């Protein structure tokens, strides 16, 4: 054991001590009308001490610990899965079964779970949209939430001022978000990497601040409430029809009113939207435009020399990604019934980006898994209340350390030349 190890261990333990005592050891509490700083209880200090000891010893004996972990035999997952050829014949059946399960499932569980699943589906949609921009075209976008906001506000405003229905607004929202993507993309797509990231970050903030301050139209921080829910061919899901003479869903089908119909209906719309988006992106990846995105990510200079117009190609990725976010935004507004700029802060962009990176850039399967984890985990971890972000951070660090290519690394849909 060298002294550098000891130094490392002491250093790590020291950092943990400082962080833990600041974050856990000291608490601000309201004491009547003033704030009071309160120290932690003895048991909490004991836990902190224990934690620091763990950090210290694990650093000190890191080599031995690594060896111990290395000795654990890793299960061979590859061998457990069916052969590649079998997989291709099984695949359509698996997908069909999955869709059927997704459609039947909401009728058997609680309303809360269906609601959570709907939220997850929104994040899947957003993740898939950003995946076009970041994963396929390789353009780092930190302001993706702006397009989500544009989609949501487009529906909210059209619904409030013109009484337009969800179904009419869905394509309009996507088109509006795409238009904003085009507008932003045109000047900034000459930039690359870090520079692009900063500009998109700024754009995201501009949209949010605009929504916050344009009080006369957007209602500012108060947001817009009472956004109409989607109906089924004109049938509403409310207890009573809003307008005289209109028929509600339960009346039409002669059923008792149940508020969970509305939730399940929203969930089913989300499922259909997500399936649509997945199909769309799957096709895009196999089309010339998808290949051009990847080629541009791989080597921009070579693309230019081969007569590819990089601005047009990047713009198409940006616009298509934005329109997906527009879809998600429109649906989000319909589900919530109320939106405000609060829903479109930077952390949302960060979460969507985290979904893409955690899932594996470019990999649709990975993004779906990551979106599920990222939305369900905070719900499960609700008991840990304020430590939940800490847990979240820890998960990210672990993932990036051991699986930097993501949960399900991207597998390119390789085009094969059939040999005669």
Partner 1 sequence: MSQLLLDVNGLTMRFGGLLAVNGVNLKVKNRQIVSVIGPNGAGKTTVFNCLSGFYIPTEGSVMLRDQQIAGLKDYQISRKGLVRTFQHVRLFQKMTVIENMLVAQHRHMNTNLLSGLLKTPNYRRLEKDAMNHAAHWLEEVGLLAFANREAGNLSYGQQRRLEIARCMVTQPELLMLDEPAAGLNPNETKELDELIIKLRDVHEISILLIEHDMSLVMGISDHIYVIAQGTPLADGNAEQIKGNPDVIKAYLGEE
Strand 34-39 and strand 224-225: the pairing is: unpaired
Give, for 229, the enclosing helix (H) or strand (E).
none
Q: Which is nearer to partner 1, 85 or 419 (CB)?
A: 419
Contact between residue 156 and residue 332 where contact means Cβ atoms under 8 Å apart: no
Q: Which two tokens stand for residue 24?
A: 């856990």
Least Å from the CB of residue 308 to partner 1: 5
Computed on alpha carbons and rounded to an integer, the radius of gyration of the chain in Å comes to: 25
Least Å from the CB of residue 131 to partner 1: 16
Least Å from the CB of residue 75 to partner 1: 28
Least Å from the CB of residue 368 to partner 1: 21
Least Å from the CB of residue 293 to partner 1: 10
Contact code string over 194-223 relative to partner 1, x by CB under 8 A: ------------------------------
Q: Which is nearer to partner 1, 40 or 303 (CB)?
A: 303
Restricted to residues 252-311, the positions that interact with partner 1 (CB under 8 A) are 280, 283-284, 287-289, 291-292, 294-295, 298-299, 301-310
Q: Which is nearer to partner 1, 281 or 354 (CB)?
A: 281
Long-range contacts of 300-304 (CB under 8 A, 24+ apart): none
Q: Give the position of tokens 């507008």.
A: 183
Q: Which is nearer to partner 1, 178 or 353 (CB)?
A: 178
Q: Which is nearer to partner 1, 258 or 294 (CB)?
A: 294
Least Å from the CB of residue 279 to partner 1: 9
Q: Which is nearer to partner 1, 197 or 320 (CB)?
A: 320
Cα–Cα distance, 177 to 150 (Å, whole number): 6
Cα–Cα distance, 243 to 106 (Å, whole number): 29
Least Å from the CB of residue 209 to partner 1: 33
List of residues 6+ apart from 102 with CB closer than 8 A? 271
Cα–Cα distance, 350 to 148 (Å, whole number): 13
Q: Which two tokens stand for residue 146?
A: 């702006």
Least Å from the CB of residue 21 to partner 1: 47
416 binds partner 1 (CB under 8 A): yes
Strand 34-39 and strand 26-31: the pairing is: antiparallel
Q: Which two tokens stand for residue 224?
A: 């817009």
Restricted to residues 373-412, the positions that interact with partner 1 (CB under 8 A) are 412
List of residues 6+ apart from 355 with CB closer than 8 A? 123, 126, 127, 130, 367, 370, 371, 374
CA torsion angle for 270, 118, 104, 355 (degrees, to 10)? 90
| Total chain residues near partner 1 (CB under 8 A) | 28
Helix-strand-coil split of the chain, %, nearest 5: 75, 5, 20
Q: Which is nearer to partner 1, 246 or 295 (CB)?
A: 295
Q: Which is nearer to partner 1, 241 or 308 (CB)?
A: 308
Q: Which is nearer to partner 1, 72 or 301 (CB)?
A: 301
Which one, of 346, 344, 325, 327, lies nearest residue 223 by Cα?
A: 344
Least Å from the CB of residue 364 to partner 1: 16
Q: Which two tokens stand for residue 52?
A: 């620091």
Could you list the residues that contact partner 1 (CB under 8 A)? 280, 283-284, 287-289, 291-292, 294-295, 298-299, 301-310, 412, 414-417, 419
């Amino acid at each position: 054991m060298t002294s550098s190890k000891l130094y490392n261990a002491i250093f790590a333990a020291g950092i943990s001590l400082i962080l833990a005592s600041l974050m856990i050891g000291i608490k601000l509490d309201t004491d009547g009308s003033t704030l009071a700083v309160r120290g932690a209880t003895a048991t909490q200090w004991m836990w902190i001490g224990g934690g620091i000891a763990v950090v210290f010893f694990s650093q000190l004996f890191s080599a031995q610990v690594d060896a111990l972990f290395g000795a654990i035999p890793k299960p061979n997952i590859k061998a457990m899965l069916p052969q590649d050829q079998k997989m291709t014949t099984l695949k359509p059946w698996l997908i069909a079964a999955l869709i059927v399960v997704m459609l039947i499932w909401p009728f058997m569980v609680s309303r809360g779970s269906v609601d959570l699943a709907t939220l997850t589906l929104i994040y899947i949609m957003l993740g898939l949209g950003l995946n076009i921009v970041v994963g396929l075209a390789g353009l780092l976008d930190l302001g993706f939430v702006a397009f989500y906001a544009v989609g949501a506000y487009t529906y909210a405003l059209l619904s409030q001022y013109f009484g337009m229905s969800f179904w009419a607004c869905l394509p309009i929202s996507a088109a509006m978000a795409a238009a904003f993507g085009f507008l932003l993309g045109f000047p900034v797509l000459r930039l690359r990497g870090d520079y692009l990231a900063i500009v998109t970050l700024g754009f995201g903030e501009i949209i949010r601040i605009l929504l916050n301050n344009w009080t006369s139209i957007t209602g500012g921080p108060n947001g817009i409430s009472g956004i109409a829910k989607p109906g089924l061919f004109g049938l509403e899901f409310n207890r009573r029809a809003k307008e005289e003479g209109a028929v509600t869903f339960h009346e039409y089908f002669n059923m008792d009113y149940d508020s969970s119909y509305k939730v399940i209906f929203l969930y089913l719309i989300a499922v259909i939207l997500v399936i649509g988006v997945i199909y769309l992106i799957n096709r895009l990846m196999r089309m010339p435009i998808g290949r051009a995105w990847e080629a541009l990510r791989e080597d921009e200079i070579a693309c230019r020399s081969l007569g590819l117009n990089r601005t047009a190609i990047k713009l198409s990725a940006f616009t298509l990604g934005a329109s997906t976010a527009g879809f998600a935004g429109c649906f989000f507004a319909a589900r919530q019934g109320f939106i405000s700029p609060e829903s479109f802060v930077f952390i949302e962009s960060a979460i969507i980006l985290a979904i893409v990176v955690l899932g594996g850039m470019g990999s649709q399967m990975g993004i779906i898994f990551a979106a599920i984890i990222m939305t369900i985990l905070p719900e499960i971890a609700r008991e840990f209340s304020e430590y939940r972000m800490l847990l979240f951070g820890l998960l990210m660090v672990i993932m990036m350390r051991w699986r930097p290519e993501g949960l399900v690394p991207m597998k390119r849909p390789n085009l094969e030349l059939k040999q005669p």
